[in-house]
Structure 1
Amino acid sequence: MRRIPLGAALGLIITVLFFLAAIFAPLLAPYGMAEVVGGVWEPASDKFWLGTDNIGRDLLTRLIYGGRTTIFIATAATLVAFGVGTALGLLAAVLGGWADQALSRFVDLVMSIPALIFALVVLSVTPTTVLVLVLVMGLLESTRVFRLSRAVAVDITVMDYVEAARLRGERRTWIIFREILPNALSPLVSELGLRFIFGVLFISTLSFLGLGVQPPQADWGGIVKENKEGIVYGIPAALYPAVAIAALSISVNLVADWVLNRTSSLKGGRG
């Protein structure tokens, strides 16, 4: 941590601040999430630091609670994606043969359909709840994690230490979790940050299109949708959540790049 670059340190600080704001949203927000406290699109003032939204709710409060919802859904979907994608990818690489082919072709089939279109079709016929959003996003993103984890694991499975573990009679679970996974962490950690960023963008896009988080719940994409008409009149209410999305995405990407470079250099040194 003493040698962390300035960009990565700044990204880490901003990321931590976003997560802390999400965790302590009820303590930080000056008003209730859906509480109407003023007029429509009031300008920033001592009472409303960022002004009000399209129906008179405090915009800062909506942004804080919206960040909580967006970050929670993106984090949960990323964990689902990595749990499913990494497990299946490593298993496919270890098993090989027909099992590898069946899993790979199924993933190719799912990836041939644009993820946004797939999600819109599924969400249009299912209840739009947080659990459904997390599962749909997580399972769709798990196909990308599967491809990466399988590609990395295929290269590792031919290494001498993996062959030695097989000759010792170690079980597949041992080989996967003790031999392959530790040596595949570097690209997976970097992918973790990217999947989280895509999760934030994905849920924001779904909410902007009306199939994500439903009112009166707040999330950043929904806030943009609710206030987009104000841009014509020079009202910046829709720009604040867009800036928040960009700031979080850039900061997480800076941290992910630093972690990838750090772990790669450590491996290179050991080699």
Structure 2
Amino acid sequence: MQLEYVGAFQIVLGIIARFWPVWLALAIIVVPSFAYRARLGLYGQLFDTGVGITGVLVCLFWLFTAIFSARIAPFDPLDQIVVMKNALPGAMVPDDGGVFLLGGDKLARDVFSRMVYGSRIVLIIAPTATAFALMVGITLGLPAGYYGGRIDSFLSFLANLVLAFPVILLFYLLVTPGIMDTPIPYGMAGLFFLFPIIFFGALFYTRFKGRPQLLLLQLAVTFVIGGWVYAGLVFNADPLGLISIRPNELNIFVAVVFASSPGVFRIVRGLVMDIKTRDYVAAAQTRGETPWYIMLWEVLPNARGPLIVDACLRIGYTTILLGTLGYFGLGLAPESPDWGTAIKDSSRLLRSHIHPALPPVFALMSFVLGLNLLADALREQSLKD
């Protein structure tokens, strides 16, 4: 069947029009943020430089794309329309009126829709896994840097042991199908996902232990929400059915946390060893504050600048890692619309059909670039502070 095509100008207009929820959300967030940037602290300071504005815009663009992906994408990412196999950009679907704005792939799926839905997968896994890695690294790095001695030696040895292992080989071992059928990923998940509960429990206890009623409320909220998330992630037993994770996604999640935590640990340990010599820490010790209070409420807030910068960079590294794993066919399901899998599927036909490979490559590159620009702007502001 002979396909009909729209022109390049119509393709560009069509893509811009499909992203209308993103443009609206950006206007609602960015315009007031720029107008009131003097009152918004570190976030407002990002709008003082071109690098910061660009980083914020790119990151928010992909965040809102993930949020509104169901409305932006014109087709289901898994739907196959046989006649659209390897269709060029702008191909019109017969008897439908829809357009494959960026063409079709080798399985006759809409490339544009798969790129849009791929952002949802990346922006769920990468930031969340990075947040858990930060929780693990901070919870272990604080006592290692503050106490030193045997605690520091033991925890540093474990961190160096993981860091000494080749990263690609480590991920290959953790996300291969054979490992998915064993208790290993669930055991690791059960351990790692305890750290946020421990962290926030200690945070609230040290702050509000002199105010029992408020402390009980804080701890109750922590354990209820933490237990709910823990049951959904580790045991896939969320009673509300809101939290569900597939075994292959859990493997990737655990692998990212396991590989990223030692790097965060070393950063936190180094910062704590420097900050604990400051006068305000000595003043807190003189007041009789407990070591965990000092670590969580005196040392950690003063280490937030480098940690925020590292978090932005680490999300970018995780995004690239997800793309690498998808390219090698590891972790996510073969039909997944994530950017790495899309690049792998299209790379086999590059000589004859290059258009399916370009959108996921551009998406991956632009998101990581935005995170790097955001990290550079944050680094500049932290140095000024």
Deviation per CA, 1:209-228: give whole Å up to 9, x if none.
11121132210000001111
Kindly provide the amino acid, as one letter, of the partner of residue 197 in structure 1.
Answer: G
Of 246, 260, 265, 1:141 maps to 260
Structure 2: give runs of 5+ residues left out of the alignment.
1-43, 93-98, 181-246
Kindly provide the amino acid, as one letter, of the partner of residue 78 in structure 2.
Answer: A
Q: Does 1:195 align with 2:314?
A: yes
Tell me the distance in 1 between the aligned counterparts of 2:174 and 2:253: 13
Q: Paired residue for 1:117?
A: 169
Where in structure 2 are the equivalents of 1:1-150 lying within 5 Å? 1=44, 3-37=47-81, 38-45=83-90, 47-124=99-176, 125-127=178-180, 129-150=248-269
> TM-score with structure 1 length normalisation?
0.94
Q: Does 1:216 align with 2:323?
A: no
Tell me the distance in 2 between the aligned counterparts of 1:31 and 1:228: 22
Tell me the distance in 1 between the aligned counterparts of 2:140 and 2:152: 9
Tell me the distance in 2 between the aligned counterparts of 1:257 and 1:141: 20
Kindly provide the amino acid, as one letter, of the partner of residue 246 in structure 1.
Answer: M
Please tell me whether the aligned partners of residues 80 and 135 of structure 1 are also in contact (alpha carbons under 8 angstroms). no
> TM-score with structure 2 length normalisation?
0.67
Q: Paired residue for 2:374?
A: 255
Please tell me whether the aligned partners of residues 119 and 136 of structure 1 are also in contact (alpha carbons under 8 angstroms). yes
Tell me the distance in 1 between the aligned counterparts of 2:329 and 2:354: 22
Aligned residues: 266
Please tell me whether the aligned partners of residues 115 and 140 of structure 1 are also in contact (alpha carbons under 8 angstroms). yes
Tell me the distance in 2 between the aligned counterparts of 1:53 and 1:69: 19
Structure 1 residue 25: Cα displacement: 1.1
Between 160-169 and 221-230, report the one with greater CA deviation: 160-169
Tell me the distance in 2 between the aligned counterparts of 1:250 and 1:182: 27
Structure 1 residue 144: Cα displacement: 0.7
Of 240, 251, 254, 2:359 maps to 240
Structure 1 residue 173: Cα displacement: 2.1
RMSD across aligned C-alpha pairs, in angstroms? 1.4
Deviation per CA, 1:186-233: give whole Å up to 9, x if none.
111110111000010011111111112113221000000111122111
Indicate the structure whose relative CO is greater, using CA pairs within 8 Å and at least 6 residues apart: 1
Please tell me whether the aligned partners of residues 326 and 332 of structure 2 are also in contact (alpha carbons under 8 angstroms). yes
Structure 1: give runs of 5+ residues left out of the alignment.
267-271
Where in structure 2 are the equivalents of 1:163-174 lying within 5 Å? 163-174=282-293
Structure 1 residue 234: Cα displacement: 4.5
Between 159-168 and 214-223, report the one with greater CA deviation: 159-168
